[in-house]
Structure 1
Amino acid sequence: MKHPRIDLNCDMGEGFGMWTIGDGVDEEIMPMISSANIATGFHAGDPNIMHRIVRLAKTHGVRIGAHPGFRDLVGFGRRRIMAPADELVNDMIYQLGALREFARLNGLRMQHFKPHGALYMHVAVDEELSRAMIRALQQLEPTLLLMVMDSSITYQVAKEMGQPVVREFYADREYDKSGSIVFTRRVGRLDPQQVAQKVLKACVDGVVRTIEGEEIEIGFDSVCIHSDTPGALDIVKTTRALLDETGVQITPCSEFIH
Structure 2
Amino acid sequence: MGASHRIFVVDDDDGIRQLIAEYLTKHGFIVETSKDGESFLQLFQSKHQEDTRHALVVLDIMMPGIDGFEVCRALRTFSKVPVIMLTAVSDEMDRIIGLEIGADDYLAKPFNPRELLARIKAIFRRSEPANEARQSIRFCWFHGLCLDTTARALSNADGDSLPLSGADYNLLMLFINNAGRVLSREYIAGETRKRSSDPLDRFIDVHISRLRQCLGDDAKSPEIIKTVRGAGYLMATDVQFTHHAVQPVLI
TM bucket by the smaller chain? 0.3 to 0.5
Name the TM-score, length of structure 1 as normaliser: 0.32
> Which protein is bigger by CA-based radius of gyration?
2
Tell me: higher relative CO, structure 1 or 2? Use CA pairs within 8 A at least 6 residues apart: 1
